[in-house]
Chains A and B, each alone.
Chain A
């Protein structure tokens, strides 16, 4: 009992520490630096400690200090309670989805069964979507509570965009569920040990649609109508400053990690290495003994999983700094007229293929 509790606590601390403590601050730096390097610029490199800049990594610390010390501004006529509540509603679901995201397989260590997921829910995938859609409330309330027309417009756009793309997202994963026959994220991950059974090869169209829909969910640039710097100042967080703004910002970056993790699990073989099964690695590590080999395998799998997640974060950033933004009607057209019929067709074709194979 105590042991299980300890293991769960360690896993929770690991995930929280990694997302909030590592990914969220470092991604602010990565976004600036990567966009700079892609555009042949230099990028953030001024913040230094004792003349040591570390390629501008201290900008993350400087940003954090700036956000902590800024005035926490609430506009006149705003609803103070909801104004404070909405960034919390926005950031909590982003962190909460990691409760069901497995970051490794299942291992036997010193007689203990270690399952590298905080909570192995039977409806893991549904849980992710249920929690992620709660975040919509945060954005809508933020726009409404700010008493600002730009914010309200931004939050209306957020609501319509997130709802319309959630439909596509939900229909896209039905294809994945049909192929793997499970909603448990751990089982979907475990089913992709063979390279050719990765979701990307099973559901190539589903992968592209899921990625597009999830970037639209995250409101990043090809689909950034809710923020729309050139039209709405900053959209729903126009009236936010200091740590509240920081929470919206953090939510966006943690959602990027979430999207990376979900895409990795559903479509890119989770923690598996292509053409290299766990049994093969275990046979190589035979000299370490059963426990040692399992431990090393576990670490390798965690590293592989996060390498894939980092690749997808890089991929999302590249998309964000490559494509121009859609107009608002184009977003709606893409969501309802193209992606929705395509995802329905995807389900049909998947069903026919499964029927033909069995």
Chain B
């Protein structure tokens, strides 16, 4: 239904002068200008001062990532320089996007060798939806969502990461390990 907007708002004499409103606006913008000039530019020059604005110089400065953040999934490498992964295939099964591809290797009876390990472990980040189901499904604390979100590439084929590219030492994932233990109740089986 058509209706009419009442545009006959009467402005007072003071408002019709415009100049006070302009000066008020200029006061606001120049206040921002001076606060940022003295609070932000010195920060960029290296002085650690309480920062006044929250814009980040992105590639140089990274925003602090909360531990619950789901970045790209990575494989944890333990103290013996081996992946925690036992190639059970649970993550592969849990993955709703079918981006994980595992070829398992099995102990052929030798001593000093792990029972099962992934011969090949591929995650296609072009397919991955960063849901975190693989991390939840993993019984061995082998796969974790890291805080790394910088994975765009020029070629889609390069986004298939192999075992070596996926490996991250477990020390770097400590916070996330703690988080998953609390979150998914691991070690409470």
Contacts and interface: CB of A to CB of B under 8 A. Distances in A.
Given A40-B53, A45-B57, A34 B33 contact: yes
B134 to A, nearest CB: 37
A55 B41 contact: yes
A38 B29 contact: yes
A42 B41 CA distance: 9
Interface stretch (A60-68, A145-153, A315-323): A315-323
Contacts of A352: none
Chain B: interface size category? 10 to 19
A327 to B, nearest CB: 14
A38 B25 contact: no
Q: Secondary structure of the B side of the interface?
A: helix
Contact of A323 (B22, B30, B36): B22
B55 A42 contact: yes
Contacts of B25: 322-323
Interface in A307-326: 318-319, 321-323
B103 interface: no
Interface residues of A, number: 15
Interface string A32-57: 00100111111001000000000100
Contacts of B33: 34, 37-38, 318
Q: Secondary structure of the A side of the interface?
A: helix
A22 interface: no
A38 B41 CA distance: 12
B55 to A, nearest CB: 5
A40 B26 contact: no
A338 to B, nearest CB: 9
B127 interface: no
Interface of B: 19, 22, 25-26, 28-30, 32-33, 36-37, 40-41, 44, 53-57
13 contacts: A34-B33, A38-B29, A38-B36, A40-B32, A40-B53, A41-B55, A42-B56, A45-B44, A208-B19, A318-B29, A318-B30, A319-B26, A322-B26
Given A42-B56, A318-B30, A319-B22, 20 more contacts: A37-B37, A37-B40, A37-B41, A38-B29, A38-B30, A38-B36, A40-B36, A40-B53, A40-B55, A45-B44, A45-B57, A55-B41, A208-B19, A318-B26, A319-B26, A322-B25, A322-B26, A322-B28, A323-B22, A323-B25
